[in-house]
Amino acid sequence: MTHELRLMTVHAHPDDESSKGAATSVRYIREGVDVLVVTCTDGSRGDILNPQLKKDPAVQAEIEANLLDVRRKEMDAARAILGVRQEWLGFVDSGLPQGDPLPPLPEGCFAVQDVEAAAEPLVRLMRRQRPQVVVTYNENGGYPHPDHIMTHKVTLAAFEAAGDPEKFPDAGEPWQPLKLYYDVAWSVARIEAEHQEMLDRGLESPYWELLKERETWPQREITTRVPVGEYFETRDAALKAHATQIDPDGPFFRTPNDIRRAVWPTEDFELARSVIDTTLPEDDLFAGVREYEKAREAVSGQGVHEPAGVCS
């Protein structure tokens, strides 16, 4: 291995890696960490969310006819901007069911897979990359898209199985990641802070409608705030590379990054599992890991990965 520290982020669709924790990925890349993005589905059932691409019916029809290829090319562009490595897990996008009652999910899609079977390719990747830190979504998927919820289930199953020699014995040498985080892309506190700063500067806030729903938002514990303000522009560029999925004039881009840096210069995470000791709150996903690795190297040179007790 050429990198001492390794981070794996597991996402549902191409574009999620750029809208959730992207600045954190860039920070760690710049620090020499190996960052691997795992994309669970192909994004083939996504909609065209950029209104500019709908102005010409011929352009829209061409994109829709070649959406799988288009989204792969967008992922290639975003990956290059962020500087990450990326692997496809190989599952088919489930789409977002609409209607009342909701229609059944498409046959064979990611969200209807057996969780243990779907975890096997992710276990294989974990044992190959050997990440100390894994990031994914909480049990609600961050928001209740079936692929996001399935991504949570599969990542949790893989995190717990990767170090067990009795699980998936043909998937490589066992490796136990040390920490599992859930991304906290948005919080009421962050939105309120950015909203108030926009008003204080005499600017129109894009958050009025969101704030009307604040009482219904589930509150997550933020255990870890990673300072990444200097990488917001890179994150934005990667997100805009997913041109079919992002409105460049939409609400996300209406808050200037200098405002974000002034009031909320971090990306936030919830520590869900840890097999090493750490002290909360943290400002580093590798808090405790750096010390653990140094101690392990001092004891055994290259040693065997044997984490001490489990805490969560």
**Annotated binding-site members for Zn(2+):** 13, 16, 148
Please report, in range form, the residues annotated as the binding site: 13, 16, 148
3 state SS of 128 = helix
Of 40, 53, 34, 50, nearest to 11 by C-alpha is: 40
Sheet of strand 266-274, all strands in order from the earlier edge strand to the far edge? 85-91, 34-41, 6-11, 133-136, 179-184, 266-274, 224-227
CA 273/CA 156 separation, integer angstroms: 9
* HSE-CB of 58 using CA atoms within 13 angstroms: 0
Q: What are phi and psi of 61, to 5 degrees?
A: -65, -40
Please state, as a whole number, how many other Cβ atoms lie within 10 Å of the Cβ of residue 174: 18
C-alpha 72 chain-centroid distance: 17
> H helices within 230-307, ranges in order?
232-241, 257-263, 289-300
CA 204/CA 247 separation, integer angstroms: 18
